[in-house]
Structure 1
């Protein structure tokens, strides 16, 4: 069996009740825990300072009288001020690091009943952090027992999940936090729900940067704001929420907006400007579309995140700002970094906690609960409640959840759609005619945004979802390539037509291979197109 070892601080008040015989009728925690019938203490590491050496000797003698098998070892700790947290923690940590723990042969109990409150807190922290590899032990008087001097003892298990009432409350708070991050929407997409659970854990436990990836309109900005609100509710953050769309920052103005400037730093700098990073001090900075920042701005952002310091434009003195960073992007920053368009060191710093938000087309089961959320938002904003009749609701959901509906603008498209219908609803009742008009309008908008989607035939080749991820620039080029492929008798012939001008400038030509690689970018093959 393992030996039981108690580590505890001498109680100069509770352990000292005089030296006469009547001390045996009083409860003394350090002696009492060695008098327990169901707790055999093999060794007692009794910590004390130089002023309490005499009392420690008395306790050692008394323990020997009631528990001869217990070895009491005095551990002198030179404390100038037992109420100084820094000193006490440092001395205890030194003791712990030097102590020869043997967890294979010994069980350790950390007695936290005696000593100053500072000592008790430090012992708790060291045990929770596993510097002290044991369980917490508390003792108390037992007035109902005949053995008054012995008192009673109990262990504290730091695994809170073992305590039913605490575990139930913790689970309820966790559910409340994840619901808060989802704006109270009862989302049904399993992957999205798992991601929100992980974000809740990270948001509560970490101040490291968070990277939110996803297409425009997927909800990155709203989620960043909810993370901030959650941390503020938990009293983990006190400063403001500062949101910056990096796509709107250009040239010298980007440096000034982000990092501030000194008066006279450049033409038009009539006064000092603190900059958005300083404004976010003690709070949260959300850099949306961070991939649009220039490399110089990225370098200064990295310095500000790592050192909490940066240099305003035109200043020779650094300033400080302590903020948590959330970055948003619709780009693949890993690919951008490999191509030299994004700093690899900044990407590495951001990539600790990366979460990819799916678009609305990937979360069609969440459209219905978001429908109610948007109607509630409309009512709160406009002061008018709008609802669907049964036929209209069924028709709109059938359209919205159909796999051919692209939702290229994601949740922004959905929000705008509900707003239009609620605004135009006769007497606040969205009917089938209102829904039919809205569906027709959405289809026209998506076709217009696609540059003539009804005519280029790409939807039949790539599908609605595949087509939604292609820029208009690439779409126009791809439509021409496919047309030429279909009009050509072979891959090589199509390559000669498409690359007729540029091929003359190259020493070696393989137009077929060049065309094959181009088609592969979009998951297409020559045989499939000809078929």
Structure 2
């Protein structure tokens, strides 16, 4: 079925102008649409301001003379300021909402050669957002100029999926951005890779707050800085990356550090201070360990994020700062909210984009590429080339991926370990003896760190709300709740279902002729409607 062709465009008050016979000697973009013998225009929706109604009538008559089958629909279009972007876009949007588009029987070409630059941009946006279901039409005068010549017309389809070359370039740009966020490390953990792919999309499309949760050393600060650098490379931010660890903020110093103060606001305030929120204007503010921030500071932060304005300490005048907020924490803020330690309204505001970074022990596949990356970085810092010999490398990776290596400090532990090996390597080669000594050092560090934490480090979280609904909890005995919480805790500390089963059934498994720890654990979780993927995600 042949579709009718409908052109939508503005009357060109300068290019389309002309009253006498001489007007036919020049190229007029709107009239030229009807002069192409190989392209039939069935209807033109011609926007014009009331003060140019006479010119619109002349152009309509001339189109009729050039192409009697072309219908011109004059659309009075009045805006007080044609250079006002908001007013122009709003008027076009209102028109498009009322217009009876019929894509099944008509195709729409949006003419962007005429009209103010603001009108042309708004037309582009209307097509790009599919408010007008069509393609762009760009017309040009003949080269060289010839009397009565129609010039050229070019259609531009903004559906980028139709352009394989462009699509491949966008795909390549996105892959490069994802690689940038991962610092060029060829990570293999599927869950982590999916997480980074979504973070890349959010980083370049959104200015809303982002919440990064994960254990100490999982890379929250590093990822926040990479997101900032990615946005800066896309010219989406102009300000600085400002980072502060909220665990270091106490008393009056907390509010002063973040929001600034006036001279004399408190004892020791000898001069005005701008504060970090203002330092982050136009950039990114990263608040690490936000769960350590006091309730008063949380309330002030909420106002600053929502309104972009706040009061420095001791000041009766508000100041403003536009920044994107990224926060990090190793705590479960949901639990802190229920205990009254964290404001529910602030949590709701920063929880639009929330991501949990897994620890190194939960990313066993990524230990090897991170070892290579950190060794290369250590070599650059030391100014010398260092390599593992084959046997030493195998021994180190075997240990790093075993249950003997909990990596409690996550990537910080790994980076420190590789730095020590690279520094002590004789002749640029890391030997088996050095690896064995480093393994002993790490085991000693982890043993003492575990003892320092004591029972608190071993105690499983009793909050089951991430996995069990309130209705389910009401139907479970207290004994079963505590047992399930302990089982989930062990699962989340284990790399695989089998490893968790071995730890949980370490005594009873010795009494069985057929050992299937994974199956026993899977069936236990199923009693509560849970799976391994659910409790470890």
User: TM class by shorter-chain length?
Assistant: 0.7 to 0.9
Within 5 A, what are the aligned runs for 1:111-510? 111-141=111-141, 149-451=149-451, 472-474=454-456
Aligned residues: 477
Q: Is 1:522 matched up with 2:486?
A: yes
2:10 matched residue in structure 1: 9
Q: Give the superposition deviation at 1:333.
A: 1.6
Contact 2:255 2:297 in 1 (8 A): yes
Distance 2:249 2:62 in 1: 76
Structure 1 residues 213, 38: closer, same or farther in 2, change over 3 A?
A: farther
Q: Give the superposition deviation at 1:405.
A: 2.3
Larger radius of gyration: 1
Distance 1:364 1:48 in 2: 66
* Unpaired stretches in structure 1, ≥5 consecutive residues: 453-470, 479-512
Distance 2:458 2:151 in 1: 85
Q: Give the superposition deviation at 1:159.
A: 2.0
Q: Give the superposition deviation at 1:530.
A: 7.8
1:126 aligns to what SS in structure 2?
helix
Distance 2:178 2:148 in 1: 49
TM-score (norm 1): 0.82
2:525 matched residue in structure 1: none
* Unpaired stretches in structure 2, ≥5 consecutive residues: 461-476, 491-500, 509-537
Structure 1 residues 149, 476: closer, same or farther in 2, change over 3 A?
A: closer
Give CA deviations for 1:386-408 in whole Å, capped at 9, x if unaligned.
22122211211121123442111
Distance 1:60 1:22 in 2: 14
2:496 matched residue in structure 1: none
Structure 1 residues 151, 417: closer, same or farther in 2, change over 3 A?
A: same
Q: Give the superposition deviation at 1:131.
A: 3.2
2:153 aligns to what SS in structure 1?
strand
Distance 1:354 1:204 in 2: 16
Q: Give the superposition deviation at 1:216.
A: 0.8
Q: Is 1:59 matched up with 2:59?
A: yes
Q: Is 1:49 matched up with 2:46?
A: no
Give CA deviations for 1:137-185 in whole Å, capped at 9, x if unaligned.
2223455999973333332111223223322222221111111111111
Let me know the Cα RMSD of the aligned residues: 2.8
Q: Give the superposition deviation at 1:93.
A: 4.0
2:514 matched residue in structure 1: none
Q: Give the superposition deviation at 1:187.
A: 1.4
Q: Give the superposition deviation at 1:258.
A: 1.4
1:20 matched residue in structure 2: 21
Moved more, 387-396 or 131-140: 131-140
Moved more, 290-299 or 3-12: 3-12
Q: Give the superposition deviation at 1:34.
A: 2.8
Contact 1:141 1:148 in 2 (8 A): no
Q: Give the superposition deviation at 1:190.
A: 2.0
2:5 aligns to what SS in structure 1?
strand
Structure 1 residues 259, 145: closer, same or farther in 2, change over 3 A?
A: closer
Contact 1:265 1:313 in 2 (8 A): yes
Contact 1:3 1:42 in 2 (8 A): yes
Contact 2:382 2:423 in 1 (8 A): no
Contact 2:26 2:147 in 1 (8 A): no
Distance 1:426 1:521 in 2: 48
Contact 1:33 1:152 in 2 (8 A): no
Moved more, 120-129 or 228-237: 120-129
Give CA deviations for 1:382-436 in whole Å, capped at 9, x if unaligned.
3233221222112111211234421111111100100111111112221111111
Contact 2:311 2:319 in 1 (8 A): yes
Moved more, 73-82 or 234-243: 73-82
Distance 2:364 2:197 in 1: 20
